[in-house]
């Protein structure tokens, strides 16, 4: 697959020679996360505990007590039982069992897997764009404010990002190997990598089922995007990917069906967010800034409804509300899209937190979008495989409930890879051209004194006019932000 600005042997060599860069990325990422855990209260970056985090800790204790998820004599088989995806509460329960319910040990473990996540992001960039991109993406992931701050919360994000980025890294490994002489032979390393990628994505969806609507889209992308591999081989690899993901999730889905006789795709979180994102009495006042006749309800009132209805009820009610008033649904979706793609943070909270949000929203996100667009210049690249999936996930949250936490883990973290491709592509070319001009001016000054003929200097990878234009637009956008 022609993904990146370097030959196929370049990324592999970059990964081999970049072992010290991996250590730097891991060390920096771990240090920043541990420092944040220790200093967050003193620097004004701590926040009140999220209700979801309290719920996950309670679920973990229920797992240890044997009363979680429809187990035990007193647990009701209602939507509340299956609202939380299972993997993170079991993850917490395992740490509690080993450490005596130590909350600090959970944060340390999350810091470690967060640092490994930064290494995975660096590995993707190195595989696609070379060793310089490896280091650039790794440093960005190690210091990305939201990825650091999520480490100190009892939420699914750290574990999900670990599994999600590992899945994408194996997918990149499988796809970039197709430039070699043997194109996708059955049961070769590329097939094993693709199978592992699907299994890890299935595990990630047991932690947070958000990518589930994008799974068929990703399957089609793997089949249809031409990347130097025959159609039958692409179909076989995509089938391995999808089957592995489904097999990992199936035992939990079948268990839920055996208990409540309803097909629940991992958890009922998705149908619940679809419902409250379109619910009269709350959605209008929040997204459209309109008061409704019966007054604005608190979101806590909707959470109380989880114990009153079985899985499937919220999805049916949401679809019925959308069908009764599609014009209202369209207005809500447009308002949610504005929130989902915002690039200017609100001025609230401590100045330090606002400055970090400005760096994330106004600089990293636009750069990531530009980097993704720049990577699309090569047909068959990994960017073409991933783009439909990312757009699908954006559309899902625009139709339901937008939350910047969702965007960070699904979209923004992956965009760090494409930022690195942008930095080593047109941006590096412009910098090389500027160095060339400076060196020429210096040589021309001393040409006669040194007896030099003023020979031409050139960069190994000079920028094209299109790359230069993209970079200038990038610099202007960053300055405006």
Q: What is the DSSP string of 254-267?
A: HHHHHHHSS--SS-
**Contact at 8 Å (CB) between 191 and 123?**
no
Please write down the long-range contacts of 18-23, taking CB distance under 8 Å and 24 or more positions apart. 18/122, 18/126, 18/131, 18/134, 18/135, 21/122, 21/126, 21/131, 21/134, 21/135, 21/138, 22/119, 22/122, 22/123, 22/134, 22/138
pTM, to two decimals: 0.84
Find, among 196, 189, 172, 246, the residue nearest to 3 by Cα.
172
- How far is it, in rounded angstroms, from Cα 315 to Cα 279? 11
- How far is it, in rounded angstroms, from Cα 310 to Cα 312? 6
- How far is it, in rounded angstroms, from Cα 145 to Cα 35? 12
**Contact at 8 Å (CB) between 414 and 386?**
yes
State pLDDT tens for residues 237-276.
999 999 999 999 999 999 888 887 778 889 888 899 999 9
State pLDDT tens for residues 435-453.
666 776 666 665 555 554 4
State pLDDT tens for residues 138-187.
999 999 999 999 999 999 999 999 999 999 999 999 998 534 333 344 34
**Contact at 8 Å (CB) between 244 and 200?**
no
Strand, coil or helix: what is 34?
helix
State pLDDT tens for residues 392-450.
999 999 999 998 889 999 999 999 999 999 998 776 666 666 666 677 666 666 555 55
Burial of 235 from C-beta contacts in 10 A (0-12 / 13-18 / 19+): middle
């Amino acid at each position: 697959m022609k993904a990146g600005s370097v030959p196929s042997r370049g990324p592999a060599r970059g990964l081999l020679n970049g072992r010290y860069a991996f250590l730097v990325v891991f060390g920096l990422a771990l240090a920043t996360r541990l420092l944040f855990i220790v200093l967050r209260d003193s620097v004004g970056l701590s926040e009140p505990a999220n209700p979801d985090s309290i719920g996950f800790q309670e679920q973990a204790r229920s797992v240890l007590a044997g009363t979680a998820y429809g187990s035990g004599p007193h647990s009701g088989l209602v939507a509340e039982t299956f609202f939380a995806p299972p993997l993170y509460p079991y993850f917490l329960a395992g740490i509690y069992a080993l450490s005596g319910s130590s909350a600090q040990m959970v944060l340390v473990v999350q810091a470690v897997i967060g640092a490994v996540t930064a290494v995975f992001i660096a590995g993707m960039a190195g595989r696609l764009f070379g060793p310089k991109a490896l280091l650039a993406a790794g440093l960005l992931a190690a210091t990305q404010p939201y990825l650091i701050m999520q480490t100190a919360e009892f939420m699914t994000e750290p574990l999900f990002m670990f599994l999600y980025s590992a899945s994408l890294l194996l997918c990149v490994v499988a796809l970039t190997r197709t430039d070699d002489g043997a194109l996708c032979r059955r049961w070769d390393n590329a097939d094993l990598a693709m199978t592992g990628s699907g299994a890890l994505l299935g595990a990630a969806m047991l932690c947070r089922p958000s990518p589930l609507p994008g799974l068929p889209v990703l399957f089609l992308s793997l089949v249809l995007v031409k990347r130097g591999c025959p159609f039958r081989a692409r179909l076989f690899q995509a089938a391995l990917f999808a089957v592995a993901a489904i097999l990992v999730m199936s035992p939990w889905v079948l268990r839920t069906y055996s208990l409540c006789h309803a097909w629940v795709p991992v958890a009922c979180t998705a149908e619940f967010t679809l419902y409250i994102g379109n619910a009269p009495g709350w959605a209008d006042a929040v997204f459209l800034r309109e008061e409704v006749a019966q007054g604005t309800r608190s979101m806590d009132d909707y959470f109380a409804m989880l114990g009153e209805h079985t899985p499937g009820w919220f999805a049916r009610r949401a679809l019925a509300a959308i069908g009764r008033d599609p014009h209202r649904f369209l207005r809500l979706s447009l308002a949610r899209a504005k929130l989902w793609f915002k690039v200017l943070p609100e001025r609230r909270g401590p100045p330090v937190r606002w400055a970090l949000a400005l760096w994330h929203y106004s600089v990293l996100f636009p750069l990531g979008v530009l980097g993704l667009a720049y990577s699309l210049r090569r047909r068959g690249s990994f960017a073409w495989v991933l783009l439909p999936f990312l757009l699908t996930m954006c559309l899902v949250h625009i139709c339901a409930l937008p939350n910047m936490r969702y965007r960070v883990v699904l979209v923004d973290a992956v965009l760090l890879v494409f930022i690195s491709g942008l930095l080593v592509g047109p941006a590096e070319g412009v910098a090389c051209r500027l160095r060339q001009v400076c060196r020429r001016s210096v040589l021309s000054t001393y040409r006669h004194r040194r007896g030099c003929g003023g020979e031409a200097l050139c960069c190994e990878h000079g920028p094209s006019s299109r790359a230069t234009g993209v970079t200038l637009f990038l610099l202007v956008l960053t300055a405006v932000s």
